[in-house]
Structure 1
Amino acid sequence: MTRRLTPGLLVVLGFLSAVGPFATDLYLASFTDIARDLGGDPSSVQLTLTAFLLGLGLGQLLLGPASDSRGRRPVLVGALAVFAAASIAMVFSPTLSVFVGLRVVQGFSGAAGIVVSRAIAVDLSEGETAVRALSVMAMVSALGPLISPPVGGVVAQLWGWRVVLAVLALIATGMFVLAVVVAPESLPVWRRHRGGVRQLAARFGMLLADRRFVGRAIAFAAGFGAMMSYISASPFVGQAVLHMTALEYALGFAAGALALVVANLTNARIAERVGPGRMLVLGAVMMIAAGLAFSALALSGTLSIASFIACAFVLTGGTGLTMANGSALALARADAARGSGAALLGAGQFAIGGLSSPLVGLWGEHTAVPMALISLGWAVIAAVGLIVARSLRES
């Protein structure tokens, strides 16, 4: 059993936790092509994103606690095998309905890459070093949204959206192989939770009764909701409203994703000194500022390509700080039930993400107003979560 969190292991865990960014961002620029070829409209293609996120949320809710009782490694390896198989099958989807169904399976199984990797990192670290570990993981994971859009945009333009899905299948297979070869068992048998549904409900109840855990979980999930409001609407805002080409959109999206890398790199270097609570507050302030600017520009009709990218940079940077520090501080409260704690974080995160996607599409695909206002709303909810937790007083 491995009991050291080495830099190499952190990089692998970060890659495995990038299931979400790779599986969502790689094919964003292909939405309109998928809608045309499979006989759907752009809003129905957004359901493929919603289906994946809902599967991801449910998967974390079940696979996290399973790793508390069965061990981290068997849950991670088994689930990623299914994730790779579903990703391969998706390349050959004949209809949009089959595509959506496979996305649910892909999301449910891929959830292990997020929830179990996060639990392993916290198992093998202590106190505020967990903040640094999760920040490094998030920085590696952020390479997914940094690399995926331009790669997906170029591949879609040259060879079409099915080849984009083939690239995703290759990545999924690589994740499975790395889990088999590298992922350790970090949870000793004597620390595992035995019992069935009743004990699982008791662990969830214990965590949900902890105000500090709940407040930080709200901030974490709402931060993701703000980012997903931007991500799910950005293809239509960029291409239909601002008239960007698929490649221009992909490069602009990657510039916004760069903020995640910068934010998590900065957080990993200074969070232990400044305090994760203060870094969490800074992230919430950045999200609110970006949401206000987005809303003012969208409502006034003055949103431009440059301001779109600038607001996205600040929004995603604030999300990076909020999610890294919020998750570390919340999981510090979970103690031995970290798989269950990570499951609640992830379930809330992707339930809100799945809700955000259809919400931003309610007013059509030719306005940036819903994206801006809903991003701002989630940023405000994140700030409310911080008030509930009063995390600043503890740092």
Structure 2
Amino acid sequence: MGKWTLLVLYAATVCGISSIYAPQPLLPVLAGFYGVSQATAGLAITATMLPLGIAPLAYGFFLDAVPARPLIGASLGLLALTSLALPLCPDFHWFLGVRALQGLLVPALLTALMTYLATAASPAGLRRVMAAYIAVTVFGGFFGRFFSGLAAQALGWQMPFYGLGAALALCALGCLGLPPDGRSAFCPMRLGNAPQVLAKPGFIAAYGVVGLLFFVFSGMLNLLPFRLESLEGGYSPLRAGAMYSGYLMGIIACLWSHRLSRCLGGPARTMALGGVVVIAAALLFAVASQAAVFLSVFVLCAGMFMAHSVASGLLNGAEARHKGLVNGLYISFYYSGGALGTYLPGLVLARYGFAPAAWVLAAAAVSGTMVAFSLWRASFAGESREEQA
């Protein structure tokens, strides 16, 4: 792939991921503007993540008949329009409706992007390419949140959505110059093949790990703006956006994950270590201090993306034929966990307070780590270690 192709794909990835998370640092502002509760305001993220947990598999039918390139361009164009529409919503029900529509568009973009990269990369460089893609998604998560908080602080809460809409439109235009993808070298993605993929040793466990850890990840970051309100120093959009600086640690974790995997003896052990780090982040998040909350995001991102970056390459490397389905399932499990994480802890917070919500997050982190440890004994993990050697 040429430099222009990579630039367009990475920019599209950053903007697509940013569209998911841009409202997150603004949740208290949205709650006040639309006159809704904290838990209801959190649905602004859930409304987008919930379709993300279901829709990726459906896009296999499109990828059967349509190459990835036009699907990437069309998704970006429609995301641009919906981003521009968000500040114009007259009430929160309309806002949630547009966010749900974005949740149907983002998986089309992400599934097409992952499939485009997986089919264009050489077998030897596949895991490195997928790890780089994950690093770009991490930056997109940071950029979307930080830019949103910064722009809202300076220009009002509507401005982040206008700016993001313009950036998405530019990416859609850039996609016109992408070369055709090589999807014809692989079997089309069909839902009927899902049992075959899930039956492979260790696949369900690997999907379960990323789903559970992303539950913790999404839950913590959704609660973060409301957590700031209860601590000394208070909340502001800029302060909330700056709290997501821990995402930069996630980029480092992605770039070093495969070297760490070789040192530890395989991806399964790397995923288990990532789970242990996420447990530590959940416990640190419970400390009543803005400094502790700030540090917990660094720890959380290190653990989450340590596991996430090796899991994607591991699954793609273990299934040579059904890459579209492997990636669709991955996104579905990933964002299903995230959708539950953006809602359930917030519901517990509203009814029982912060401490029980923090325990829910810690319990999910422990569960994900236990599943990761179980992968050590799976033949899937053993085969993967042999591949890395």
TM range (shorter): 0.7 to 0.9
Corresponding residue SS for 2:181: coil
Cα pair distance change 1:175/1:227, threshold 3 Å: farther
Return the alpha-carbon distance in structure 1 between the equivalents of residues 366 and 130 of structure 2: 21
State how many pairs are aligned: 379
2:152 equivalent to 1:156: yes
Superposed CA deviations along residues 201-252 of structure 1, whole A, max 9, x for unmatched, are 3211211221332222222322322211211111111233453433222212
Superposed CA deviations along residues 166-199 of structure 1, whole A, max 9, x for unmatched, are 12212322332233333642212x6453xxxxx8
2:244 equivalent to 1:253: yes
After alignment, is 227-236 or 62-71 more displaced? 62-71
Match of 1:145 among 124, 141, 144: 141
Contact 1:278-1:392 at 8 Å conserved across structures: yes
What letter is aligned with 2:273? V
- Aligned-residue CA RMSD in angstroms? 2.6
Name the structure 1 match of 2:382: 393
2:303 equivalent to 1:312: no
After alignment, is 377-386 or 127-136 more displaced? 377-386
Contact 1:129-1:272 at 8 Å conserved across structures: no
Match of 2:93 among 97, 114, 139: 97
Return the alpha-carbon distance in structure 2 between the equivalents of residues 164 and 296 of structure 1: 30
**Deviation of residue 257 (structure 1)?**
0.7
**Deviation of residue 330 (structure 1)?**
1.0
Name the % identity: 19
Return the alpha-carbon distance in structure 1 between the equivalents of residues 177 and 366 of structure 2: 39
Cα pair distance change 1:169/1:293, threshold 3 Å: closer
- Where in structure 1 are there 5+ consecutive unaligned residues? 194-198
Cα pair distance change 1:108/1:392, threshold 3 Å: same
What letter is aligned with 2:81? A
Return the alpha-carbon distance in structure 2 between the equivalents of residues 222 and 338 of structure 1: 22
Name the structure 2 match of 1:213: 203
Contact 2:43-2:96 at 8 Å conserved across structures: yes
User: Where do 1:274-353 residues align within 5 Å?
Assistant: 274=263, 278-292=266-280, 294-295=282-283, 298=286, 302-353=287-338
Contact 2:57-2:191 at 8 Å conserved across structures: no
Name the structure 2 match of 1:354: 339
- Where in structure 2 are there 5+ consecutive unaligned residues? none
**Deviation of residue 41 (structure 1)?**
1.7
Return the alpha-carbon distance in structure 2 between the equivalents of residues 369 and 19 of structure 1: 34
Name the structure 1 match of 2:368: 381
Return the alpha-carbon distance in structure 2 between the equivalents of residues 303 and 64 of structure 1: 45
Contact 1:219-1:386 at 8 Å conserved across structures: no
User: Where do 1:152-301 residues align within 5 Å?
Assistant: 152-182=148-178, 184-188=180-184, 191=186, 193=188, 200-241=190-231, 243-254=234-245, 256-267=246-257, 270=259, 273-274=262-263, 278-292=266-280, 294-295=282-283, 298=286
Superposed CA deviations along residues 50-85 of structure 1, whole A, max 9, x for unmatched, are 110012223312114532443222322223322222
Return the alpha-carbon distance in structure 1 between the equivalents of residues 325 and 208 of structure 2: 16
Cα pair distance change 1:222/1:66, threshold 3 Å: farther
2:80 equivalent to 1:84: yes
